[in-house]
Structure 1
Amino acid sequence: MKRYALLSFCLLSLSIAFSQEAPKEVSKEYRATPEKINDLVHTKLDAHFDYSKSQLNGKVWITLKPHFYPTDSLALDAKAMDIKSVSLVKGTKNSPLKYTYNGWVLNIRLDKMYKGGEQYTIYIDYTAKPNEFTGKGSSAITDAKGLYFINPLGKDKNKPTQIWTQGETEATSVWVPTIDKPNQKTTDEIIMTVPAKYVTLSNGKLVSQKINKDGTRTDDWKMDQPHSPYLFFMGVGDYAVIKDKYKDKEVNYYVEKEYAPVARKIFGLTPQMIALFSRLTGVDFPWVKYSQIVGRDYVSGAMENTTATLHQESAQQDARELTDGNRWEEVIAHELFHQWFGDYVTAESWSNITMNESFATLGSQLWNEFKYGKDEAYAERYGSLQGYYNSNSEKKNLVRFHYNSQEDVFDGVSYNKGGGILQMLRNYVGDSAFFKSLNLYLNTNKYKNGEAQQLRLAFEEVTGKDLNWFFNQWYYGNGHPKLNVSSNYDAAARQVNMVVEQTQDSNNLFTIPVSVDVWTGNKPTRYTVWVKDKADTFAFPAATQPQWVSFDADKILVAQRTENKSLDEYAFQYAHAKNYIDRREAIDVAAKNQAERTAAQILEMGMKDPFAGLRSYAISKLEMQKEQVRSMAEPLLFEIVQKDKSRPVKAAAISKLGDLKSAKYKSLFQASVNDSSYTVSGNSLEALAKIDSVAAFSEAKRLMSQPAKGKLGSAITKILIKYGDESSAEVILKNFEDMPLSQGKFEAIRPLVDFLGKVKSPSTFKRGVDDILNLVAQVPESFRDQVAGFVEGLLRNVQKQKTANGQSELAEYIESSLSKKAF
């Protein structure tokens, strides 16, 4: 799963600084791998949906066998169901069985004692009532009801009617009785009867379709390869299905019909991704097909259901959005790599979720590297590790046998840090050994479960190296090195002396192999050293004083560094570095010293960098009020707007030119408002507003009748709020309502609240308040209190304003909404 929403929330500011959550006391209970008493063998479900009640009427046949020891009982997870009958299938007859049910677990007394490996089949007639399940969800999905009916009665004319399921972690058992543990593996057959106008998707292959006389259709999906119950999937809706293929296997994209023309631009690189991952792992795509479907109101990014990945609606982008690049491409790669790491071989317990999520994090980085180059991969990796460093997670192990809820393991350690650790391991053993080890791990454990020790054994078998030291500190330990690196040149001894101090907790010292490049002239000499102690000293020969000593030359460590380099060294570093992180670090140092000429030179190099991501980043750091920076940057920014092929870079340059508030750029901004990129258009509109608010307001009114997403939508909203009146309410509110859960939507809260301060219409005012509180309700639970507190403070100020103005009805609506905790 790509917890896209969760990771994004780590970066939210909302004009306030969200404090990191204080570490919670962790349960002392050892979280063992679930005991296997009975094994799932096959699950056959016949599902009929009751849209009026948001329920599933199901009949399920479950074939099982005792794992090893004889047993005469069976416990199935079955949450919030009406159990109508339970029986044993004997040939063509069913024999009723005794059972007890507490709303969570269905305990069945079998007809006899079954020996280890002896199969039997249970039949259950039941109704699943997901809306009545009150189990707690994760920080990304705010409940765990497993089966979701979206706009089931079609009352919302702006939202399609859909059904989708979300099984991870243990929510499949809300819609079908099962043993809902990741170390279970079963084949399955899912039969769905739906209105004939809808299409369906499930695991495996669609083997038959039958048109029924009552206007419904029955689709039969068969999954002949075993996988875990949390990866079961059902999807239903009015989709366009865009057909593609990898070799002779189906690759399909299920999108809402308006996105059919651009579906290939969103998902069309999937066959290339499959080919890359098949080549790197040495395991050809192991499943019969691969489909991807987009679900409304799904807030957890995406989920890697076997052969049938579910994406949230943010994946759907129109042609103008895609001119800035496909923002969802990394998510697509992440979920696809799960088809090997997570689905083909599954973490044997939630404690070992690193065997799923760390690999998927690696997968998108591998895609970026092999498709777009190392700068793109390092940019993703850098951002990922910053998410971990900022997550207040230093006390958490990667393999985690103690937690309060299994949902807690889906965090910046399992994803971000774990992906970085795999990159370190790859760097240490080399690419050939790394991918050969992955191949051995996958083939040894295919269709079964894996844990970190099995990964270690695979690497040791391939490399011949003992890797306990690596796994003990990175997988079964916590934290990361914090390194203070200093170096000086001893001319008499003709050597560089380097001191590396580990400044983190002295009881948690790391053993780290590190590459050091010593640059004399324009070429480096590489040395490898081992950092082991609280303070280590190293000496490297150098005939003359080096221009740059690059510690961790490949910038591969999961570690935070401080170094004592000069601006001149950073300038040399930028000019000669091949690595994204080296160049970014130089920009960061230069940004803090923009009064210095050398810093301006570094920023200029950044603005001309061959990698668009660094050009945008360097531009974002410019302090245009400094004359030296302005004289260097202004003509270059103008040239970038005219010539740069990257729309995000062009947009960043327009924003900085806008900061100058110079009338000479008015025509440029007006022309760029019509750019095909929403980001360029939105930044141009905001820049125009800084020099001519009347013209900007006129443009905003003109554009508000056209599709306006992303930056353009937020820019229009801000300008209409600032310079308009209540007549713009419909556009302002609709723009806000149509925005997906995103950083931009959160940034729009304060302007929308300011607008509500002007509003007099009760219906408009109430709709705006409801929109804001509905957004708060979608926030992952671990962040919701902070966002709710921020929003409540804003609304209380409006409440005081309305009371003072005699608008008691509006003030009372805020009081009523907040007192009911509508969010």
Structure 2
Amino acid sequence: MKTLYAALLAGSISAFALNSARAQTEAPAESAAFKIYRETPTKINDLVHTKLDVRFDYKKRYLYGKEWVTLKPHFYPTDSLRLDAKGMDLKSIAIVKNGKNIPLKFTYDSLTVNIKLDKTYTNAESYTVYIDYTSKPNELKSKGSMAISDAKGLYFINPDGIEKDKPTQIWTQGETEGSSAWFPTIDKPNQKTTDEISMTVPNKYVTLSNGRLASQKVNADGTRTDTWKMELPHSPYLFMMAVGDFKITKDAWRGKEVSYYLEPKYAPYAKDIFGFTPEAMEFYSKTLGVDYPWNKYSQIVVRDYVSGAMENTSATLHGDYVQATKRELLDTYYGQGPSTIVHELFHQWFGDYVTAESWSNLTVNESFADFSETLWAEYKYGKDAGDAHIYEDMVNYLSQPDAKTKNLVRFHYNDKEDVFDVVTYQKGGRILYMLRNYLGNAAFYKGLNIYLKSNAFKNGEAQQLRLALEEASGRDLNWFFNQWYYGAGHPVLNISYKYDDATKTQTVYLAQNQDGNAFILPMAVDIYAGGKKTRYNVWMRSKADTLTFKVASKPDLVNVDGDKVILTQKTDAKTLEEYVFQYFNAPLFLDRFEAITAAGKKQTDKGARSVIIAAMKDKYYELRIKAIKAADLTNDDVRNAAQPILVNLAQIDENTLVKAAALTALGKLKAAGNMNLFKQSLNSQSYAVQGAALTAISLLNPAEAMPLAKQYEKDSQGALKQAVLNTYATSGSDEQWNYVYDAFKNGQPQTQVNIMRKFADFTARVQNPAYAQAGIKAIADFGAKYKKYGVGPQVVTLLTNIKAERTKLNDAASATAADKGIADVNAAE
């Protein structure tokens, strides 16, 4: 699963609220529940096969189901069966004997049903229980989380067809334990079962489920019954159904069906969105030495999804953020769409083929899926792209203050949802990156191959991963797993240097300043001296260590962690001169990133300026953008050197985001000589480039920008729409209010945050008091809804400023509305 939580960490809400990173992950007050050891669920009965026959009541939002579930005792004989069944009407439960249903006694508490079997069964016997039930997901009092915002399992989207521009759909979400909201089961990850699901739906709709479409039967009442069969065992949380008006685009990998289910509007772009999937299946199959294990792979995009995406076995479900036109995709460089697609695909091995035996060991699912994003970036876009992606993981983890208190394998938590966090995802991915570097590619991937084959169609945990990697490499890894998997935190590393010319000795002082024990850190130290680089492989085993190296002359650079793999919060005492050398001589993304960061702080220095200017032409686009944003164009020397490069980048760079960044930088100069460039850039097919150009024009000549914004009002997405909104919010009048208000009120959180401050300014100055009051309410609603992410104080400040401005306009009613909005935000939980 790729969670909304992960998206929010890197996204807009955390940027809006300076304290939001803390607010997002502050642990709840330690409760009695937190102190409970979360053991792996005991197996009394094992699922063997699950057969479902379901139909839907769109008006009532009900599922009417019949189930035949086959089980057998795990080891000890038993005469009872307990199933998870959340919020259902259980009409009858029977044992199936010789084709007949013999009623069984049961008790039900609305969450689980305890069934008295007809006799005591041994683990040499299987039995089948029949259940006639009704699922009522909208009546279920379910609790969502930051990772998965809702947990009712089954979702009816626009079932009455009354919401404009929204299709009618049904889809399911099983993780963590939501499947038992739509069929009775043992809803635990350490269960595995084959399945058969028959769905009776209106004939106009398409269905999707796990496995193969075994049959379709057209019924006399205008419905159709589709039967899907999954003939390999998988966990109940990975069951899925989807129903709706989807257009299917077919693809293939080694003769297996690969298909993409999209709303008809986006079907022409199916190959643009998902078309690299077969290539990724081939890459991962070869890398792991285990071919894609299921008989097909489908991907479907649905509306109103409650998380990011979900790796249902052979049938991944995506939120609608991945749907985009060819033009919108011009500005997508790996990012959330493609990275999510490969993340969910990799789960088909790590998560579906071998499944975490408990939520405590979720790392063997999610850390691998996170790491797979880096693997694909390296393969498809080059090492810089992979290094950039995994570095972002580390930054996201380090930005969460309480993450350092949580083990990766976590046997104590308040709620199972709590483990879907930056520790399991981003930290776990970075740890695997370190482990691959330590073992080497060949041994690391051999270990993964052993782990997958040893546990195929079963469950795994971190200890089994350790044993597989030890078998492959011949190296003991207890030290690594004890500190990174079964311990919390990370090293806080200080690095300083001294060269003694008399003894020709370079000394490196290493100090770990975190609380607790020292981390054992194998690392490379690269010394650049006399025109060559010498590598030393060293181990840091204590809180403080001193390394000495004989070097004939003072080194130009000592580069600790030469492979840039250690997960650490680092303070490095390199001089600016050394960072300048590092940019031009050390090879890796993070080498250059660190140098640009250091140079950006001292642009009065000639060497620092040389880094910033050179980095504008760096081979990797993110570093070009970083240099553009870092350039101090108020410095004459920087501006004179940078401006012709920026103009050139804006015109010919192959990357649209670099072009947009260059236009944005030029726009801030407000130089009339660039107006033609800005106008020419409006002809780009890239929304990012057009948006940057329109924003630049609005800074240079607001009056000229207004009619241009009107021209692009209807045909705008992404950055261009943002620019239109910003232009209106900055320079518009009541005439533009409705457009801006609708975009804010109905926009995604990204849109709302991007325009928040300007929308507040617009609300403060608009002439119509009714408009002002509507704007105040929309801002207050946002503040109340997202207060848990730390935005409350910022929203209150905006509302306070609006009140002051409306008071100056003698608009008492709007001032009163602002007071109410402030009170509502403060009162929100």
Aligned partner of 1:134 among 124, 136, 141: 141
Alpha carbons of structure 1 residues 158 and 818: separation in structure 2 relative to 1, 3 Å: farther
Alpha-carbon contact 1:142-1:778 (below 8 Å) kept? no
Q: Does 1:724 align with 2:726?
A: no
How many angstroms apart in 1 are the aligned matches of 2:806 and 2:159?
37
- Once the two structures are overlaid, the 10-residue window that deviates more, 749-758 or 344-353, is 749-758
Deviations 1:207-233, CA, capped at 9 Å, x for gaps: 111112222211111101111111111
Q: Does 1:487 align with 2:497?
A: yes
- C-alpha displacement of 1:774: 6.7
- C-alpha displacement of 1:521: 3.2
- C-alpha displacement of 1:91: 2.2
Alpha-carbon contact 2:800-2:818 (below 8 Å) kept? no
Aligned partner of 2:622 among 604, 610, 613: 613
Q: What stretches of structure 1 of length at least 5 have no aligned partner?
A: none
Q: Does 1:79 align with 2:86?
A: yes
Aligned partner of 1:710 among 718, 729, 736: 718
- Once the two structures are overlaid, the 10-residue window that deviates more, 150-159 or 359-368, is 150-159
How many angstroms apart in 2 are the aligned matches of 1:383 and 1:249?
35
Q: Does 1:90 align with 2:97?
A: yes
1:261-280 equivalent positions in 2, closer than 5 A: 261-280=268-287
- C-alpha displacement of 1:254: 0.9
Alpha carbons of structure 1 residues 737 and 210: separation in structure 2 relative to 1, 3 Å: farther
- C-alpha displacement of 1:333: 0.8
Q: What stretches of structure 2 of length at least 5 have no aligned partner?
A: none
Partner of 1:623: 632
1:733-812 equivalent positions in 2, closer than 5 A: 733-736=741-744, 739-742=747-750, 744-757=751-764, 784=788, 786-787=790-791, 790-791=794-795, 794-795=798-799, 798=802, 805-806=810-811, 808=813
How many angstroms apart in 1 are the aligned matches of 2:76 and 2:378?
49
Alpha carbons of structure 1 residues 758 and 296: separation in structure 2 relative to 1, 3 Å: farther
How many angstroms apart in 1 are the aligned matches of 2:277 and 2:308?
17
Partner of 1:692: 701
- C-alpha displacement of 1:361: 0.7
Alpha carbons of structure 1 residues 189 and 265: separation in structure 2 relative to 1, 3 Å: same
- C-alpha displacement of 1:632: 1.6
AA paired with 2:719?
K
How many angstroms apart in 2 are the aligned matches of 1:656 and 1:130?
51
Alpha carbons of structure 1 residues 435 and 497: separation in structure 2 relative to 1, 3 Å: same
1:374-413 equivalent positions in 2, closer than 5 A: 374-392=383-401, 393-413=403-423
Partner of 1:248: 255
Aligned partner of 1:348 among 350, 357, 374: 357
How many angstroms apart in 2 are the aligned matches of 1:428 and 1:279?
21
- C-alpha displacement of 1:736: 3.6
Alpha-carbon contact 1:5-1:299 (below 8 Å) kept? no
How many angstroms apart in 2 are the aligned matches of 1:816 and 1:774?
8
- C-alpha displacement of 1:681: 0.7
Deviations 1:638-663, CA, capped at 9 Å, x for gaps: 11112211110010000000111111
Alpha-carbon contact 1:347-1:450 (below 8 Å) kept? yes
1:436-515 equivalent positions in 2, closer than 5 A: 436-505=446-515, 507-515=516-524
Alpha carbons of structure 1 residues 394 and 813: separation in structure 2 relative to 1, 3 Å: closer
1:550-565 equivalent positions in 2, closer than 5 A: 550-565=559-574
- C-alpha displacement of 1:682: 0.7
Q: Does 1:200 align with 2:210?
A: no
Alpha carbons of structure 1 residues 231 and 102: separation in structure 2 relative to 1, 3 Å: same
AA paired with 1:784?
K
Partner of 1:14: 16
- C-alpha displacement of 1:822: 9.3
Alpha-carbon contact 2:9-2:21 (below 8 Å) kept? no
- C-alpha displacement of 1:155: 0.9
How many angstroms apart in 1 are the aligned matches of 2:451 and 2:5?
31
- C-alpha displacement of 1:18: 2.3
Deviations 1:359-388, CA, capped at 9 Å, x for gaps: 001101000101111100001011111000
How many angstroms apart in 2 are the aligned matches of 1:517 and 1:822?
53
- Once the two structures are overlaid, the 10-residue window that deviates more, 752-761 or 525-534, is 752-761
- Once the two structures are overlaid, the 10-residue window that deviates more, 768-777 or 415-424, is 768-777
- C-alpha displacement of 1:748: 2.0
Alpha-carbon contact 1:726-1:758 (below 8 Å) kept? no
Secondary structure, counterpart of 1:394 in structure 2 = helix
Aligned partner of 1:658 among 648, 667, 674: 667
- Once the two structures are overlaid, the 10-residue window that deviates more, 426-435 or 733-742, is 733-742
Alpha-carbon contact 1:151-1:160 (below 8 Å) kept? yes
How many angstroms apart in 2 are the aligned matches of 1:600 and 1:304?
47
Secondary structure, counterpart of 2:191 in structure 1 = coil
1:205-224 equivalent positions in 2, closer than 5 A: 205-224=212-231
Aligned partner of 2:425 among 393, 396, 415: 415
Deviations 1:429-481, CA, capped at 9 Å, x for gaps: 11100000000000000100000000011011111111111111111011111
1:557-636 equivalent positions in 2, closer than 5 A: 557-636=566-645
Deviations 1:666-708, CA, capped at 9 Å, x for gaps: 11112212321111111111111111001111100111122x1
AA paired with 1:252?
S
Identity %: 51
- C-alpha displacement of 1:89: 1.2
Alpha-carbon contact 2:773-2:814 (below 8 Å) kept? no
- Once the two structures are overlaid, the 10-residue window that deviates more, 312-321 or 731-740, is 731-740
- C-alpha displacement of 1:58: 1.0
How many angstroms apart in 2 are the aligned matches of 1:816 and 1:711?
29
Alpha-carbon contact 2:765-2:806 (below 8 Å) kept? no
How many angstroms apart in 2 are the aligned matches of 1:140 and 1:764?
35
Partner of 2:299: 292
- C-alpha displacement of 1:9: 3.4
1:18-57 equivalent positions in 2, closer than 5 A: 18=20, 20-21=22-23, 22-26=26-30, 27-57=34-64
Partner of 1:227: 234
AA paired with 1:398?
L
Deviations 1:606-646, CA, capped at 9 Å, x for gaps: 11111111111111111111112111211111111122111
How many angstroms apart in 1 are the aligned matches of 2:788 and 2:318?
23
- C-alpha displacement of 1:241: 0.9
Q: Does 1:186 align with 2:193?
A: yes
Q: Does 1:638 align with 2:626?
A: no
Secondary structure, counterpart of 1:716 in structure 2 = helix
Count of residue pairs brought into register by the alignment: 817
Two-structure CA RMSD over aligned residues (Å): 2.3
- C-alpha displacement of 1:489: 2.0
Alpha-carbon contact 2:776-2:821 (below 8 Å) kept? no
1:138-177 equivalent positions in 2, closer than 5 A: 138-177=145-184
Alpha carbons of structure 1 residues 19 and 293: separation in structure 2 relative to 1, 3 Å: closer
How many angstroms apart in 1 are the aligned matches of 2:128 and 2:635?
77
Partner of 1:528: 537
Alpha-carbon contact 1:10-1:391 (below 8 Å) kept? no
Secondary structure, counterpart of 1:279 in structure 2 = helix
AA paired with 1:108?
I
Deviations 1:561-611, CA, capped at 9 Å, x for gaps: 212211221111111121000100000001111111111111112111111
Alpha-carbon contact 2:21-2:400 (below 8 Å) kept? no
AA paired with 2:389?
E
How many angstroms apart in 1 are the aligned matches of 2:640 and 2:822?
53
Secondary structure, counterpart of 1:397 in structure 2 = coil
Alpha-carbon contact 2:5-2:421 (below 8 Å) kept? no
How many angstroms apart in 1 are the aligned matches of 2:251 and 2:785?
34
How many angstroms apart in 2 are the aligned matches of 1:473 and 1:816?
48
